[in-house]
Amino acid sequence: MRGDRKGEEQFSAGSSEGVGLWERVRRELGQGEGAVFGTGSHEELRSVRGWARRVLGGVGAADECLMVVGELVANVVEHGGGGRVALWLGVVPGGVLGLMVQGPRAVISEEVVRWFGGMAVREGRWGMADAAAERGRGLAIVAEVCVRWEMVTGAVGHGVWCWEICEDVVGWRARALEGVRGRNPGVLVWFGERTGRWWGMAGGELWEAGSVDGLERKLGERGGGGRMGG
């Protein structure tokens, strides 16, 4: 699989640090830890949670991350049709990054992150909040816990979930908004506490997205018709 460098650069404008979610995960892959599990039964969840608890140690966002991992793997067990999941967790200053690949040949690699990250840029795939609307309360809870998230489906039955959890959610959102406003002068930008979504408005047009990276992609497409949508 070949990554889309142009798409990667476009995506990397998305966060308060100037680095999009997929690009940040790609950069941190060598520092985190990954493992592969089967998804044939709920018994496997115990192994997944035990592994995640060991990797996370005493990080402040450990409980939230354990919940996210448990909900995502449980969702695959219920709806993913078997196969296996490859998980990766990276403890970073102030929080945790996570990646889950589901499918018959699921692996964690830089190529996987480049490929699916490029798809997210080119095709505007779902944020996890959008997936939650389709797949129930469990993913809705996950969407509330994560400050950034995206779900992408691809060839040969694979799906990828990518997320970030912060200990200081309020502070992270404030910094993210400041960054988006600085890169998009003249655009009114806000996070909807009740909707859990990110919004932008300028020149009588309204944009919304399930993640700050998704919103910034839409704002970047203003000249080409980036409008309100999932």
The predicted pLDDT at position 115 comes to 80
- Cβ within 8 Å of residue 135, ≥6 positions away: 75, 79
Contact 96, 164 (CB under 8 A): yes
Domain ranges of the chain: 5-167, 170-224
- Tell me which residues of the chain have a pLDDT lower than 70: 1-19, 40-42, 80-82, 120-138, 154-157, 223-230
CATH class of 5-167: alpha beta
What is the pTM (predicted TM-score) of this model? 0.73
Amino acid 138: pLDDT: 65
Identify whether the C-beta of residue 21 lies closer than 8 Å to the C-beta of residue 13.
Answer: no
